[in-house]
């Protein structure tokens, strides 16, 4: 059996904090809906970097696995605390799991709905990404099973592996935005990236990070990837907003000025 965990930290949680966590959970799912709808409507994956899709998925899977391991340490406390306290103690896992599912759904929808012949090469890249995600998921599942077997007598072993996954998720979270930032700068437009989605997710990312930090029994390896992601997504949002609204408006004004001076001449 695992070493005894101090279950008192999960007792008497604030109902207001739980309500906020539930709202964030719903918000996480809803924030991806504009992106899902855009892929279905346009039947295109243009503007979505395959490398970004791959790395964001791997980061999410690693982060979810991190919380699965940490939850495995805390789950015995559910025998000592109330059902509400038990659910509240696992709310971070629910949130991260929903976020990872929504991210994977973006890739899956690209695979299912991309129909534009002009996107064929990108489509092949997305197919390759989906296969790599499935391989990584299989590897993680096997590693979690092995961790539970070898770590059943010591929470220390599981905690260390959870931290390794958290560090991996953070590194990937940093790297994942580089190709997407490069793609956006190259295209000088948002493409299939949904600005409404990012407008919801960016401030939500910072709020979510705060709730993860304040959660009883919080571990830095669980929230640091999301703080990093929120900062980088904010940068991507600024770029997309600039290209779609400010730069495009300036270009229109320049064209109008050129037409005016040509007419005068």
pLDDT digits (tens, 9 = 90+) for 129-145: 999 999 999 999 998 88
For residue 40, is it within any domain? Answer: yes
- Taking the complete model, does pTM exceed 0.85, yes or no? no
For residue 194, is it within any domain? Answer: yes
Residues 155-180, mean pLDDT to the nearest whole number: 84
Residues 210-227, mean pLDDT to the nearest whole number: 79
For residue 256, is it within any domain? Answer: no
User: Residue 245: helix, strand or coil by DSSP?
Assistant: helix
Structural domain harbouring 152:
14-237
Helices (H), the chain: 15-42, 50-74, 83-89, 91-113, 120-151, 155-187, 195-214, 220-241, 248-264
Residues 224-246, mean pLDDT to the nearest whole number: 85
For residue 129, is it within any domain? Answer: yes
Residue 39 has pLDDT above 50, yes or no: yes
pLDDT value at residue 65: 92
For residue 2, is it within any domain? Answer: no
Q: Which residue has the higher pLDDT, 103 or 13?
A: 103
If we measure between CA atoms, which residue out of 153, 129, 158 comes closest to residue 221? 158
Residue 16 has pLDDT above 50, yes or no: yes
Residue 43 has pLDDT above 50, yes or no: yes
For residue 6, is it within any domain? Answer: no
Q: What percent of the chain has a predicted confidence (pLDDT) above 70?
A: 87
What gap in Å lies between CA 226 and CA 92, rounded to an integer?
Answer: 12
Residues 232-261, mean pLDDT to the nearest whole number: 67
Residue 170 has pLDDT above 60, yes or no: yes
Q: How many domains is the chain partitioned into structurally? A: 1
Tokens matching residue 17: 């904090």
Mean pLDDT of the chain: 81
pLDDT band at 184 (very low <50, low <70, confident <90, very high): confident
pLDDT band at 253 (very low <50, low <70, confident <90, very high): very low
Residue 193 has pLDDT above 80, yes or no: no
For residue 262, is it within any domain? Answer: no
CB 76 within 8 A of CB 5: yes
pLDDT value at residue 257: 46
For residue 264, is it within any domain? Answer: no
């Amino acid at each position: 059996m695992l070493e005894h965990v101090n279950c008192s930290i999960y007792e008497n949680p604030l109902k207001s904090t739980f309500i906020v966590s539930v709202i964030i959970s719903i918000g996480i799912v809803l924030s991806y809906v504009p992106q899902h709808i855009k892929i279905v409507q346009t039947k295109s994956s243009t503007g979505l970097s395959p490398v970004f899709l791959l790395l964001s998925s791997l980061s999410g899977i690693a982060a979810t696995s991190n919380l699965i391991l940490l939850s495995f340490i805390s789950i015995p406390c559910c025998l000592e605390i109330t059902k509400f306290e038990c659910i509240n103690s696992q709310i971070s896992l629910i949130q991260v799991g929903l976020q990872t599912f929504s991210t994977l759904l973006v890739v899956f929808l690209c695979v299912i709905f991309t129909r534009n012949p002009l996107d064929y090469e990108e489509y092949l890249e997305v197919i390759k990404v989906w296969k790599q995600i499935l391989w990584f998921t299989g590897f993680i599942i096997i590693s979690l099973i092995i961790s539970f077997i070898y770590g059943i007598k010591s929470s220390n072993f599981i905690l260390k592996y959870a931290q390794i996954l958290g560090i991996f998720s953070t590194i990937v979270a940093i790297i994942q935005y580089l190709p997407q930032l490069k793609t956006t700068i190259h295209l000088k437009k948002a493409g299939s990236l949904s600005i409404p989605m990012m407008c919801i997710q960016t401030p939500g990312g910072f709020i979510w990070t705060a709730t993860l930090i304040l959660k009883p029994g919080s571990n830095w390896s669980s929230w640091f990837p999301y703080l990093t992601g929120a900062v980088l997504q904010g940068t991507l949002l600024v770029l997309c907003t600039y290209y779609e609204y400010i730069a495009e408006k300036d270009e229109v004004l320049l064209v109008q000025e050129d037409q005016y001076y040509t007419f005068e001449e």
